[in-house]
Amino acid sequence: MAELRTMEDIHVERSATKEVQDALASHEANRAVKTEHDMTLLQGLKTYPHAVGWSILFSTSIIMEGFDVILIGNLYALNPFQHQFGQKMSDGSYQLTAAWQSGLSNGALVGEILGLFLNGIICDRYGYRKTITGALALVLCFVFIVFFATSLPVLLLGEILLGIPWGVFQTLTTAYASEVCPVVLRPYLTIYVNLCWTIGQFIASGVMKGVSPLDNKWAYKIPFACQWIWPLPIMLGVLLAPESPWWLIRKGRLDDAKHALYRLTSPNDQSFDINETISMIERTNELEKQLGEGISYRDCFIGSNLRRTEIICMVWSIQTLCGSTFMGYSTYFFEQAGLDSSNAFTMSLVQYALGALGTIFSWFLINWFGRRTLYLSGQAIQVVLLAIVGALGCVPNSGPAVHWAIGGLILVYAFCYDATVGPVCYSLVSELSSSRLRTKTIVIARNVYNVVGIVTNILTPRMLNPSAWDWGAKAGFFWCVSCFVCLTWTYFRLPEPKGRTFAELDILFEQRVSARKFSSTVVHPFESLESAAMSEKKEEEEAVDIIEDVTTVRRMD
């Protein structure tokens, strides 16, 4: 009996110790949540300066994807490319068929779908650093294929293979940016991903403007060769970067997570407590475990995660369905709208410069209005602009004035898109996914985006190509209707995550709070953990009482 009592004493003592540890961890986690809520932008930059730098380095890899995706669409308007890969038309000019335009544009998307699914598995196993390093190495190899391609099938193969590492960049950069920074910096660094897209598009347009006077194969080989510039320096930087503390916590590597967080923050900031932030990450991970979250693709469609997956998939699809496909074919569209080749390339260059300015402007707008309001208002403005473009396309015997008016409206559309829908999307998809399923949820959403992109890349060339439907600017009507449908969905389904920690968002989704009430609902995320700990302690005490009762009965017998 003495031995039994000793075991019971030890059990109760351990339970009490665990209760104290849980209470202390919850207290530290709540302090970290309050610290993030109270943190200003300047305080965030002061506390997390290294995290900002490493996040920018990771996201810079997106420049390559933005460069090539726009490059392919603009090459359709380049004479040497048309002569090498196109077919002779009845008027003596050369054009790629609408089918091959769709095929080349979709080739990278097909590769990205494969790369995205591989990323969801590889990144969870090996971490962000190793995954993106391997993807950058693949880019260096696969660029050789498109550079030396002399036929459309080989060029298509190169685009498909390049799409595999690009698929990795699409999700990994956004997820890394959201995990290494506090709430106040998260929208700025996730939006920077869109700025990298725009920078890549701007560089591609500048290169195309520079090579447009050339009348030989180097007019399209030089743009392909430019893709060798970025991978090696980015790769060397990534190898020195710290891993995501969230990923390390999910792997149970507490000491490594503390070291990574130490490298991401400033050692001179005495007000910052690393242990509190680590406790918040741990408690958020435990909270999501209690809510029944696993780490497989299947878990993305179970319980509250189904709603989160739906929202993120739609948010990313809206990037294409709101009519932005016009921008990917801007040079070709401007030519079909009536501008000469030189002016078409100039207009594209201006378009992406405005896009970069719009993205920078969105950093101020998102702080003032939040994600939901900005996403809604951006689509509303785009509906109007697309309707006007379609109306101008119906003007009979239109002259240069109408052509320039259409071009000007597309520029205004580009600025509006890159100040609202384009960049805000990256902030939304990184914040609305759960931490344990972030990579896989973003993978699914981006693949839905790619599938939608494949459809729009089949439709858009046919809308613009004179050998197909030849709609020209009248295609604005089609995308106006599509954008209005997206606007309606956004109003009823898109929540506002501004200022929320990941744990708070977990509770809001678990409680099925309406999208329009997300910003006003008050939650205390770690109270549920404390309640669970108290319930567990109560069960342990009841178990001890039962043991004592059974022992007493046996002694009486």
Along the 557 residues of the chain, how does pLDDT read in single tens digits? 444 445 455 454 445 455 656 666 666 777 777 877 788 888 888 989 999 999 999 988 888 777 877 787 777 777 888 888 877 776 667 777 777 877 887 788 788 888 888 887 888 889 999 999 999 999 999 999 989 988 888 988 998 998 899 888 877 888 888 888 888 888 888 888 888 888 887 888 788 878 878 888 888 889 889 889 888 899 999 999 999 998 999 888 889 999 999 999 988 777 778 888 888 888 888 877 776 556 678 888 888 889 999 999 999 999 889 888 766 666 666 666 566 666 777 777 788 788 888 888 888 888 888 889 999 999 999 999 999 988 887 877 666 677 778 778 888 888 899 899 988 988 898 888 887 788 788 888 888 988 888 888 788 777 766 666 777 778 889 999 999 999 999 999 999 988 787 778 888 888 888 888 887 888 776 665 444 444 444 545 554 454 455 455 445 55
Rounded to an integer, what is the distance from CA 180 to the centroid of its chain?
Answer: 15
Burial of 401 (0-12, 13-18, 19+ CB in 10 A): exposed
What are the φ and ψ backbone dihedral angles of 230, each rounded to 5 degrees? Answer: -85, -40
Give helix then strand counts, H and E, for the chain. Answer: 25, 2
Amino acid 398: pLDDT: 64
The angle at the Cα of 332, spanning 328 to 338, to the nearest 5 degrees, equals: 135
Amino acid 10: pLDDT: 45
DSSP state of 473: G
Which domain does 195 fall in, by range? 39-241+299-499
DSSP state of 299: G
Instruction: List the one residue out of 362, 357, 406 whose CA is nearest residue 386.
Output: 406
- CATH code where residue 104 lies: 1.20.1250.20
At residue 344, what is the residue type?
A: A
Contacts 24+ apart (CB under 8 A), 406-410: 406/337, 406/473, 407/334, 407/337, 407/339, 407/347, 409/385, 410/326, 410/327, 410/330, 410/333, 410/334, 410/347, 410/351
Amino acid 523: pLDDT: 76
Sole residue written with tokens 């359709």:
76
Domain assignment present for residue 256? The answer is no
Amino acid 52: pLDDT: 92
Amino acid 102: pLDDT: 75
What are the φ and ψ backbone dihedral angles of 87, each rounded to 5 degrees? Answer: -115, 150
How many domains are there within the chain?
A: 1
Domain assignment present for residue 173? The answer is yes
Contacts 24+ apart (CB under 8 A), 503-508: 503/29, 503/33, 503/280, 503/283, 503/284, 503/287, 504/33, 505/431, 505/432, 505/434, 506/284, 506/287, 506/288, 506/291, 506/434, 507/287
Q: Yes or no: say if 327 and 202 are a contact pair by the CB < 8 Å rule.
A: no
Domain assignment present for residue 286? The answer is no
What are the φ and ψ backbone dihedral angles of 349, each rounded to 5 degrees? Answer: -65, -45
At residue 308, what is the residue type?
A: R
Amino acid 544: pLDDT: 47
Q: Yes or no: say if 180 and 264 are a contact pair by the CB < 8 Å rule.
A: yes
Q: Which two tokens stand for residue 138?
A: 């693949």
Domain assignment present for residue 386? The answer is yes
Domain assignment present for residue 28? The answer is no
At residue 416, what is the residue type?
A: C
Q: At what angle do helices 128-148 and 231-239 cross, to 10 degrees?
A: 170
How far apart CA 480 and CA 308 sit, in angstroms, is 27
Q: Which two tokens stand for residue 259?
A: 């070291």
Domain assignment present for residue 506? The answer is no
**CA 40 → CA 93, 188, 282, 311, 519, distances in Å?**
59, 13, 24, 28, 19
How far apart CA 24 and CA 130 sit, in angstroms, is 35
DSSP state of 226: G
Domain assignment present for residue 548? The answer is no
Domain assignment present for residue 427? The answer is yes
Burial of 523 (0-12, 13-18, 19+ CB in 10 A): middle
DSSP state of 94: E
How far apart CA 261 and CA 240 sit, in angstroms, is 14
